[in-house]
Amino acid sequence: MKTELPFADHTTIQERLREEGHLDAGAGATLHALARRGLLQITEDRVNLPQVGLVHRVLVELTRAGRACARAGLGIAPTPRRPAHLLSEWLWRNLARVAEARPDGLPEAAMGGTSRFHLGVGYRPNGRPSRGYIDSFAVRVEKGRGTFVLEYRWRITEAGRQHINAHRTDYQSRYPAVQFSIPDPL
C-alpha cells in the first residue's frame, strides 16, 4: 500500500519518467555525473517534519551551462543578449514613465520597485554607482510660518535625455510593448 504524503510524492516529471520506464535507481548517479560536469547543482539536506521526523531532501537546479547544453541538444537557438549599454524592459518602462511626466515629475509612490536605485543619481544599495538618468526633487508647500515637504517626485536628468535620444529606436524595436509618447528628440 502506497502512503500518500504530499512532501514525499514524486514530481510530475518523475512520475512520467517512471511510467515510461526511464526512472530507475541509477538516476542519482546520473545526476551526480551531470553535477561533476557543471551542468547541475545538487543540494542535499535533511528536513525535520513533525509528523515523520528527519527526511532526506535532494534539490536539483540546472546551471547556466546546463541550460545552454539543454537548449543546444533540443536545437533551440539562444536568445540574443541585450547590449550592456541598454536597459532591461522593466528599467526602460520606468525611465519612459519619468520622461513622460515632464517637468512635473513622477510621484515617488509611482516608481516601480528598486528602479530608482538603478536609474537615479547616486548609488545603488550595493554601493555601485547608478546611471544618473533620473533625480528626485521635493515639492514644498508654505504653511503658516514654515515650508514643508509635501512629497518627493522624480524627473529626467540631462544624462537621461541623452540616453533616450541616443537609444529610443533601439528600445522601441526591442520592447514594442512599452508605450512611449514624447517628442523626438526629448
Domain ranges for the chain, please list them. 12-74, 89-174
- Report the alpha-carbon distance of residue 129 to residue 75 in Å, rounded: 40
pLDDT at 1: 39
Q: Kindly report the number of other CB atoms within 10 A of residue 68's CB atom.
A: 14
Which residues have C-beta within 8 Å of that of residue 86, sequence separation ≥ 6?
92, 167, 170, 171, 174
What is the 8-class DSSP label of residue 129? Answer: B
Which residue is associated with the grid cell 541585450? Answer: 82
pLDDT at 16: 75
pLDDT at 2: 42
Backbone angles phi, psi at 125, to 5 degrees: -60, -25
Q: What one-letter code names the amino acid at 100?
A: E
- Report the alpha-carbon distance of residue 142 to residue 130 in Å, rounded: 33
pLDDT at 107: 93
Residue pLDDT tens, the chain, 186 long: 344 445 555 666 667 777 887 766 677 788 788 889 999 898 888 888 888 888 887 778 889 999 999 999 999 998 788 898 999 999 999 999 999 998 889 998 888 788 888 899 887 777 778 899 999 999 998 888 888 888 999 999 999 999 999 999 999 999 999 988 877 777
pLDDT at 18: 77
Q: What one-letter code names the amino acid at 29?
A: A
pLDDT at 119: 93
62 close to 34: Cβ distance less than 8 angstroms: no
Classify 136 as helix, strand or coil.
strand
The alpha carbon torsion through 10, 69, 62, 6 (nearest 10 deg) reads: -10
pLDDT at 14: 67
Q: Which residues face 49 on adjacent strands?
A: 53
pTM of the predicted protein model: 0.60
